[in-house]
Amino acid sequence: MRPLQPVGPGMRVLLGIAFFAFFVALWSFATFGGFVSRTFLADPFTMVVEGWRLMTEFGFAYDIGMTVWRVLGGFILAAVLAVPLGIAMGAWKPIEAFFEPFVSFARYLPASAFIPLLILWAGIGETQKLLVIFIGSFFQIVLMVAVTVGGTRRDLVEAAYTLGATDTGIVRRVLIPSAAPQIAEILRLVLGWAWTYVIVAELIGSSSGIGHMIVDSQALLNTGQIIFGIIVIGVIGLVSDFAFKAANRALFPWSLS
């Protein structure tokens, strides 16, 4: 191994699978070996059995669908509003000076702290959960996009002006194409954070969703179902992560080295 030396696709897949296999083996050793009480940590076999019961007897597929809908709804709403504002802040410094102090202030506020207020304002329905995800995602996206657009190479901008580009043309033909791959990467990262927000929102005042199932299972000390719910979140997140990377490569081939 050498620093920054790339790994081939086959070896990357093999190493990734090897870690999961090592993790399951360690988990099995701790539980089947009696080192950890199964009351506090279910073994892999029990987790699979409880997961099958959730899917076949308790309609867990519906809970998964509700959670995915909440994540996508709140995240897409945040992205649609945040990306244009972030581009404007990065491109025009007066706009940045106007919005940046408040955005920097708001991004440090934990979305979970707004849940009591949002319940008062919007009740315990879907609007409240979408707003939790929106608040948790919006300000992060705005600031990260603004920094990315503002960091566009100056030589590209000067070259475009030399060739006769207008101010609007600079934004449309230089700043946005240059920052687009990084913006897609920002959205990929923030989508992972959105999953954290939705589970927190579902832990309080929810009658459906993965978070709701986890709370019910915790009351019954059913760690098998809890672990299954956590793994489902991880699998969905992994699939969406790979989908984002594939879309990034397809949409922005100029970003590939």
Q: Give domain status of residue 32, yes or no.
A: no
Could you tell me which of 109, 128, 95, 96 has the C-alpha nearest to residue 201? 128
Could you tell me which of 189, 60, 61, 211 has the C-alpha nearest to residue 137? 189
Q: Domain range for residue 184?
A: 63-252
Residue 181 half-sphere exposure toward CB, CA atoms < 13 A: 14
Q: Give domain status of residue 22, yes or no.
A: no
63 with 70: CB under 8 angstroms? no
Structurally, the chain folds into a number of domains equal to 1
Q: Give domain status of residue 36, yes or no.
A: no
24 with 43: CB under 8 angstroms? no
Q: Give domain status of residue 79, yes or no.
A: yes
CATH number of the domain that residue 76 is part of: 1.10.3720.10
Rounded Cα–Cα distance for residues 191 and 213 (Å): 22
pLDDT of residue 70: 92
pLDDT of residue 151: 87
Question: What does DSSP assign to residue 120?
Answer: H
Token code pair at residue 39 = 């009351």
Q: Give domain status of residue 37, yes or no.
A: no
pTM listed for this prediction: 0.85
Q: Give domain status of residue 33, yes or no.
A: no
Residue type at 146 in one-letter notation: A
pLDDT of residue 147: 93
Q: Give domain status of residue 180, yes or no.
A: yes
210 with 227: CB under 8 angstroms? no
Q: Which residues of the chain have pLDDT under 50?
A: 257
